[in-house]
Every structure is written in C-alpha cells, then in structure tokens.
C-alpha cells in the first residue's frame, strides 16, 4: 500500500512538471494570464503554457493536498494493517490454543484408552492365569484321585482275589473234611469200637469226646 502511494506521488509530480511541455496537458494559447491590479493599465503576464509558471501557489496547494491525502491514506492503511494484523494474531492465538487443547484432549484420550486397554488386558491375563491354575489344580486332583482309585481298585482286586482264594481254600477244605467225615462215619460203623463206658464209638460220640477234651484243655 505504501509503495502505491509513492508511485501515485511520482506520477502526479511528473504530470505537474511535464504539463507545460505536453500538448494534451498544456493550456490553450487563447488562455491569457493578466494583472488587474491597475484596471487602467492591464498587463499581460503570460498566455498558453507559460501561464502555468505563474501558478506555483496552486501547484503548491495541490502538492500539499496530495501529500496530506497520501499521509492520511498511509496512516489509515497502517491502522487497517495493524488492526488486521492484530485480528489475525488474535485468530492465530485462538487457533493455536484450540490446536493445543485438541492435542491435549487427544493425548488424554489416548492415555485413558491405553490405561483402560492395559487394565482390561491385565484383568484378562489374570483371569486366564486363574483359569489355567484352576484347570491344573483340577487335573492334578483328578490325577491324584485316579491314582488313588487305581490303587484302591488294585488293592480291592487283590483283596477279592485273596478272599476268593481263601474261600476257595475253605470250600476245598470243607469238601475235603466232608469226604473224610463220610469215610470216618462209614469206618466207625463197620469196626464197632467201644469206649470205656461200654457204649459204641460213633462219629457223633467221637466228636463229643473231642469237644470235651478241647474245652477241658483250655
């Protein structure tokens, strides 16, 4: 803006100084400049382009007016520029403030989200560890229970086998004793042995005597 006013001053000054030499700016030759101080003695001062050299006051006023206009315009331009710069500076400060607030909000949001995700991951990891430990404990207890059941089953089978063998032995012994009893009964019936009281010795009498002997020997 300042250079525009400088250019305008140079153009006006050039036109003012060059006007006597430029036909389209120079006054017509029919234009006369006369001195009417003494009406009886009118003096011709100049005519045409020469009249311009006698109007230096007017040119001075015009130059001062233009200079005043240029100065006022420059001041107004500087004021507008300063006002615009201030407005732009305030807008820039507001924009920078908003950008800083947005960055802070973004940072806080990312921080909160990171903390939330880390907390959820820690909770999930803890839950998985608890579930894994619980599964291991259950597996260990199941293994112990299975081992114990196998031992009990083995011991039970062993006990059952032993009892079966014992029962089988008892049955075999009973069968053997039954066979021997039959043989003894048949034998005693044939030999006709007698005991000291004169009665016949039978299997029943022999069993009675054996029981009495057993009871008396205790």
The range of the structural domain enclosing residue 193 comes to: 178-217
pLDDT digits (tens, 9 = 90+) for 162-190: 777 777 777 777 767 677 777 777 776 77
Amino acid 46: pLDDT: 65
Amino acid 49: pLDDT: 62
Q: Evaluate if residue 78 carries a pLDDT over 60.
A: yes
For the chain, the domain total comes to: 2
Please say which residue of 94, 129, 152 terminates a domain.
94
| Residue 7 counted as domain residue | yes
**For residue 147, what are its two tokens?**
């081992």
Please say which residue of 52, 78, 94 terminates a domain.
94
Q: How far is CA 140 from CA 4, 35, 165, in A?
A: 96, 135, 36
| Residue 118 counted as domain residue | no
pLDDT digits (tens, 9 = 90+) for 110-120: 999 999 999 99
Q: Evaluate if residue 206 carries a pLDDT over 60.
A: yes
- Global confidence as pTM: 0.36
| Residue 150 counted as domain residue | no
| Residue 135 counted as domain residue | no
| Residue 119 counted as domain residue | no
Please give, one letter per residue, the 3-state secondary structure of 18-65: HHHHCCCCCCCCCCEEEECCCCCCCEEEEEHHHHHHHCHHHHHHHHHH
| Residue 142 counted as domain residue | no
**For residue 39, what are its two tokens?**
């009406």
Please say which residue of 55, 74, 94 terminates a domain.
94
| Residue 45 counted as domain residue | yes
| Residue 17 counted as domain residue | yes
Question: Average pLDDT, stretch 80-93?
Answer: 90
Q: Evaluate if residue 2 carries a pLDDT over 70.
A: no
pLDDT digits (tens, 9 = 90+) for 38-58: 777 777 666 666 666 666 677
The least confident of 100-104, 151-155, 199-203 is: 199-203
Amino acid 100: pLDDT: 92
**For residue 8, what are its two tokens?**
């305008």
The least confident of 51-55, 97-101, 154-158 is: 51-55
Question: Average pLDDT, stretch 5-11?
Answer: 60
Amino acid 16: pLDDT: 54
Q: Which residues, at least 6 apart from 205, have a Cβ–Cβ distance to it below 8 Å?
A: 195, 199
């Amino acid at each position: 803006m300042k250079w525009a006013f400088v250019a305008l001053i140079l153009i006006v000054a050039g036109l003012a100084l060059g006007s006597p030499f430029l036909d389209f700016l120079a006054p017509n030759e029919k234009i006369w400049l006369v001195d009417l101080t003494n009406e009886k003695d009118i003096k011709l001062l100049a005519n045409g382009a020469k009249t311009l050299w006698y109007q230096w006051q007017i040119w001075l006023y015009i130059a001062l007016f233009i200079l005043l206009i240029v100065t006022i315009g420059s001041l107004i331009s500087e004021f507008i520029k300063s006002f615009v710069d201030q407005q732009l500076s305030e807008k820039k400060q507001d924009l920078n403030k908003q950008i800083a607030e947005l960055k802070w909000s973004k940072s806080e949001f990312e921080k909160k989200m990171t903390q939330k995700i880390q907390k959820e991951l820690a909770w999930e990891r803890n839950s998985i560890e608890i579930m894994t430990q619980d599964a291991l404990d259950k597996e260990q207890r199941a293994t112990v229970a299975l081992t114990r059941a196998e031992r009990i089953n083995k011991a039970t089978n062993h006990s059952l086998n032993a009892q079966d063998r014992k029962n089988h032995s008892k049955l075999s012994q009973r069968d053997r004793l039954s066979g021997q009893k039959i043989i003894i009964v048949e034998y005693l019936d044939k030999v006709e042995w007698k005991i000291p009281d004169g009665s016949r010795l039978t299997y029943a009498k022999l069993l009675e005597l054996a029981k009495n002997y057993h009871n008396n020997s205790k």
